[in-house]
Chains A and B, each alone.
Chain A
Amino acid sequence: MSTLNRLLVLMYAGALALGGQEATHTGAFRINFPADSPVTLVSADWGESRTSALGGALVIELRTALMLRNSGVGRIRGVTLQVLAQEVAPGGKASVSVPSLDVRAGATFPVRIDLRLLQPVRSGGPLVELGLDGVLFEDLTFYGPNRLNSRRSMTVWELEARRDRQYLKSVLEAQGPEGLRKEVLASLARQSERAGLDVQVTRRGRVTAAGAEQERQFALLNLAGAPLEPLSGVALVSGNEARDARLEVVNRSGRLVRYFELGWIIGDRQGREFLAGAVPAADPALRLAPGQKALAAQPAMLRFSLRPGQPVAIDAMKSYVSQVEFADGQIWIPDRAALGSARAPSPEEQRLTDLYLKRGLAALISELKKF
């Protein structure tokens, strides 16, 4: 860094210290919702935001609680906000989604955005732009630019929420409150096991030497009722890393498919299994007719470890079709029974079990009866 740049950093840090949090962070953070958005900003609290110097760089922590209002007419089930920081981090793009909402028209709801930026020198203009990527309503209609494909993601989460609420209700009816409690405790145990997995993703890797890397086959799970059937799959595996996962599927349904994803489970030498991620359809303009085959690919390099930093030696890999979007926009997800042990708790299951932990069984039962 040049002397001039160092001076600029120091001057900017000093200005931040003197300028007061509200004005500074408002200038650094621009919120930009469309004029006809069914979600409007009521207030933004910048409470604990702060700026500090780290060597020659600035660290800016923006912590805000946005209060949003449902200004539309339908009940909101999910919201996705897009976070852009292109000036700070090349390709710096992120999003914050809140699924499993139940916000009636006119009601307000909070969304927390906590982010940290590290940059050598401020280049002027807002550091971060926050926009609306999408809103999902109770009837599965959607509003928003959908640049991040949040329509599909939020629809999948909503369908999973309905599926899991229905399942927990059936447990309650069949086995009573104690049966529900056992089910919730089993779910919490599964979540606890999975929560320890750390994943690092690198878009591309330059291989400097060939060595212990091996091509490993996926074990394929054929789920009952799945529109697609996985045929084969491989990934390059070395120690705790895997890359270039490629799977082939065939369309067994009678409908045109425009998107699909496969779940990727890794197993370690102790026999533990973790849902590591997803392998999406390789073709972004997919039109998969009945009987045709298509590829799913995850070109990134994934590195797995258990916190704190203990590598997970990949011993086995499994995959299954986790979602399918048909040409008419309808989405298929697996049912709970078909998934068996491969099932990862949905966002709604996570919310409901957290509710049980904080407020008890009666609160959970009451919540289930709302739907």
Chain B
Amino acid sequence: MKHLTEADLAVYAGGEVGLWGRLRTARHLKYCAGCARLVRDFRALRDWTRAQNQLPEGVDWLQLSAEMKANIRVGLAAGECVAAPAAARGRLWRPAVVLPVLLVMVLGWWLQSWPPPPVPAAERIVPAGPVVRAKADSIEVEQDGHALALLYPRAAQVTLTASGQGLRARYVDAETGYVTISHVYTQ
């Protein structure tokens, strides 16, 4: 099975893909647990990112809007002022109008390019090699669509810790009454 790229999955998770792409990706996710998990991770990250403070402190949008409008009015007023004088000075009104408009455009571009909030590292670090993760019912080592999971179906409470080589899950097996420690390794 050919996997989708992380970029495609991230765009899909963000709901920014077209109808055809959405259908195609949804069909792939139906059969590919690995990609589906990545989409879930991206969605969780998106939600987390939204929950953070995404705007720089102190940005007063109403004030910025008022300033932009004021600049436009200043520009228009300047244009009217310079329109009445002699024809020799007639050419000067054009920069007087254009400059404030340019100023507004530059301001808009600057606001658009405001530095984004720190990107969660999950979007910057691409895992290479096996990934060991916990699921609701198991710990799993997964690579290239192959997976080996140790399940804990009879555990009321599971404690997870990262070992030097992988991930450990510790629980009391309700059937045997014994503490059981499952360990999956990254290599």
A contacts, CB < 8 Å to B: 1, 54-57, 61, 63, 65, 83, 85, 88-101, 109-112, 114-120, 148, 157, 191-192, 194-195, 197-209, 211-213, 238-241, 243, 261, 264, 275-280, 298, 300-303, 305, 307-311, 344, 347-348, 350-351, 354-355, 358
Which of B81-89, B92-100, B144-152 lies at the interface with chain A? B144-152
Q: State in angstroms the CA–CA spacing of A354 and B156 once bound together.
A: 10
Asked whether B159 is an interface residue with its Cβ less than 8 Å from the other chain, the reply is yes
Asked whether B153 is an interface residue with its Cβ less than 8 Å from the other chain, the reply is yes
Known: A115-B148, A195-B159. A309 touches B44 (CB 8 A): yes
In the complex, what residues of A have CB within 8 A of residue B176's CB?
Answer: 98, 109-112
| A90 in contact with B144 (CB, 8 Å) | yes
Asked whether B21 is an interface residue with its Cβ less than 8 Å from the other chain, the reply is no
Known: A94-B150, A116-B138, A351-B179. A311 touches B161 (CB 8 A): no
Which of A96, A98, A201 has the most chain B CB atoms closer than 10 A to its own CB?
A201
| B180 in contact with A97 (CB, 8 Å) | yes
For the side of the interface on B, what is the size category? Answer: 35 or more
Return the contact of B132 from the options A55, A195, A201, A264 (Cβ within 8 A): A201
Instruction: Tell me the smallest distance from the CB of B171 to a CB of chain A, in Å.
Output: 8
What are some 30 contacts across the A-B interface (CB < 8 A)? A57-B31, A83-B150, A88-B147, A93-B184, A94-B150, A96-B182, A97-B181, A98-B179, A99-B179, A100-B178, A114-B152, A119-B146, A120-B145, A194-B159, A195-B159, A200-B131, A200-B167, A201-B167, A201-B186, A203-B130, A203-B186, A206-B125, A240-B121, A276-B161, A298-B162, A300-B186, A344-B159, A350-B159, A350-B170, A354-B177
| A197 in contact with B149 (CB, 8 Å) | no
Q: State in angstroms the CA–CA spacing of A110 and B141 once bound together.
A: 25
In the complex, what residues of A have CB within 8 A of residue B136's CB?
Answer: 307-308
Return the contact of A94 from the options B154, B173, B183 (Cβ within 8 A): B183
Known: A93-B141, A118-B146. 5 other contacts (CB 8 A): A198-B134, A199-B167, A202-B128, A205-B128, A261-B164
Q: State in angstroms the CA–CA spacing of A102 and B142 once bound together.
A: 35
In the complex, what residues of A have CB within 8 A of residue B159's CB?
Answer: 191, 194-195, 197, 344, 350
Closest to B173 in A: A112
Asked whether B1 is an interface residue with its Cβ less than 8 Å from the other chain, the reply is yes
| A117 in contact with B147 (CB, 8 Å) | yes
Interface residues of B in 46-83 (CB under 8 A from A): 48
Known: A89-B142, A90-B130, A90-B143. A198 touches B186 (CB 8 A): no
| B149 in contact with A116 (CB, 8 Å) | yes
| B182 in contact with A94 (CB, 8 Å) | yes
| A303 in contact with B182 (CB, 8 Å) | no
| B186 in contact with A65 (CB, 8 Å) | no
In the complex, what residues of B have CB within 8 A of residue A112's CB?
Answer: 154, 173, 175-176, 180
